[in-house]
Amino acid sequence: MRYLILLIATFLLASCSRKDSSPASGYYTLLFSTENGNIPARLQINDTSGWNIVNSEESIRLDSVVLRGDSFFVKLPLFDSSLKGTWRNDSIFGEWTDHSRKQYSIPFVGAIANYSERDKTIQDLNYEVIFSPDDTTESSRGIAIFQQKGNTLTGTILTETGDYRYLQGEISNGTLWLSAFDGTHLFYLKGMMKEDSIIDGVFLSGKHWKENWVASKSQNNTLRNPYSIASVKVNTNPEFDVLNSSGELIHFDSANWKNRVTIIQIMGSWCPNCTDESRFLKELYENHKGTGIQIIPIAFERGEDIGVACKRVQSQFEQLNMPYPFYYGGKASKEEAQKKLNFLTEVHSFPTSIFIDKSGVIRRVYTGYYGPGTYEEFEKHSAEIKNFVAGLLTD
């Protein structure tokens, strides 16, 4: 609340000044106002590098920035969302809209932050995290991989369905907070640090979501193997119908798998973990192109209009320069995905990847994805997948 009051005061003072042709260069702190509290994010504006959203080591360049008078409109990359608002010198205010969801906008204010780091001491902080610890039916586990440098805190949280990508925040007087904004997800975690634990944790996501969490320095810092979570029904073959980007019905069955190594990617254009996986699968495909590999992304999308949904996926695939087409599977729902790919007992996560060998046998189902924000886990799982696919191609 103190930050919000300071930002609003700065904006009111600046609004009495002259209008500039563009916002002042600097490192802005944005505060998104949700029904459960304010969520901070970081925006860097520079005459040379342009506008960039910053999440720890991730810098998301905003190439589509339109300035008119004292107003701005930014179409965010990869995801169907935008920022719009106005500025006065070194203050901005406006709203973020996620166009893939109905009536989903969150207002924000922002001002240039004066930031300096004096203490350069680095400390690794790893915890076992329990979300919704008081609800046995809804609780879930994660592993927090944090790094403290002075009062700056960065890192991520791994779960059995993916990771929280690049988080960034601070530690001050025993209180920690971390946040991330990538154009489709807006995350905020806060808690009180004790000697070997974090208590009174609160997790906010987007407009509405609020969840309690706790953490402890435990020896049980492991999650289930991502290949052990989903399974294939006995005596079933991978066979299904999907739509191509033109709306035509396409049938896949055993003839499509013969003499090819196939990866079926269950994904959504609204899912950052899926986008991280798409980048990895693109690299994997290009490294083995012409050797009998095929990748089949099946998108499960928000909204009722299939044409609009396909345009969203097409836009993302074009921005990523994906070398193969996508297919539309249905609405953004794990239940919908399992019905479409009914040879699976259950779909636990977006993304989920299915590995099929040259004889049409499903060899593995990989639930979730650990992206580059997980560092060592990303390197480990990437190497494992590359080696496994290389083995399938030589069989």
Q: Tell me, what's the pLDDT at 6?
A: 52
Report the C-alpha dihedral over residues 16, 22, 25, 26, rounded to 10 degrees. Answer: 60
Residue 367: pLDDT band (50, 70, 90) is very high
Residue 2 pLDDT greater than 60, yes or no? no
Q: How many C-beta atoms surround the C-beta of residue 67 within 10 A?
A: 14
CA 306 – CA 243 distance, rounded (Å): 10
pLDDT at 218 over 80: no
The residue ranges of every structural domain in the chain are 2-112, 122-216, 240-394
5 against 139, higher pLDDT: 139
Q: Match 């012409």 to its residue by tokens.
A: 290
Mean pLDDT confidence for 124-129 = 94
Note whether 355 and 388 are within 8 A (CB): yes
Which superfamily, per CATH, for 240-394? Glutaredoxin (3.40.30.10)
The per-residue pLDDT for range 190-201, each reduced to its tens digit, is 999 998 999 999
Taking only the tens place, the pLDDT of each residue in 16-57 is: 444 457 899 999 999 999 999 999 999 999 987 899 999 999
Q: Does domain 122-216 have CATH number 2.60.40.1930?
A: no
Tokens 């729902």 map to which residue?
333
Cα distance between residue 375 and residue 150, in whole Å:
21
- Give 42's strand partners: 29
User: Is the model's pLDDT at 62 over the cut of 50?
Assistant: yes
Instruction: Report residue 105 as tokens.
Output: 């906008």
Q: Quote the percentage of the chain above a pLDDT of 70.
A: 93
pLDDT tens string 289-347: 999 999 999 999 999 999 999 999 999 999 999 999 999 999 999 999 999 999 999 99
Same fold: 2-112 with 122-216:
yes
Vertex 13: Cα angle to 12 and 17 (nearest 5): 110
Q: Which tokens hold the place of 191?
A: 């808690």
Which CATH topology does 2-112 take? Lipocalin (2.40.128)
Q: Tens of pLDDT along 68-121?
A: 999 999 999 999 999 999 999 889 999 999 999 999 999 999 999 876 665 667
CB 312 within 8 A of CB 331: no
CA separation, residue 99 to residues 34, 105, 204, 315 (Å): 17, 9, 20, 14
Rounded to two decimals, the pTM is 0.92
